[in-house]
Amino acid sequence: MNTNKKPFHKQDLNFVFGKRNYTFMFIGLAVIALGFILMSGGGSDDPNVFNPDIYNFQRIRLAPALVLIGFGVEVYAILLNPNKK
């Protein structure tokens, strides 16, 4: 029976990604969330009335671009080498 077990220390925890990776992941998530927030709204309370705000620049161009940029930041965060300074 092997009784040479090391005691558990907090320093023994190894994460898959480094601190920079997680920082970029949170930035990417924030950009994606901002894109979806900007994409929301523009509806009408009355279904018989058309609201042209649904086709404004914010919802058609800006918000989807922010979502795609956020996904690009996420890919960069995953591929970033955590050991490189």
pTM of the predicted model as reported, rounded to 2 decimal places: 0.78
Kindly write down the DSSP assignment for every residue of the chain, as one continuous string. Answer: ----PPPP-GGG---SS-HHHHHHHHHHHHHHHHHHHHHS----SSTTS--GGGGSHIIIIIHHHHHHHHHHHHHHHHHS-TT--
Instruction: Give the tens place of pLDDT for each residue, 27-83.
Output: 999 999 999 999 997 777 788 888 888 889 999 999 999 999 999 999 999 999 888
CA distance 14 to 28: 23
Q: pLDDT higher for 42 or 3?
A: 42
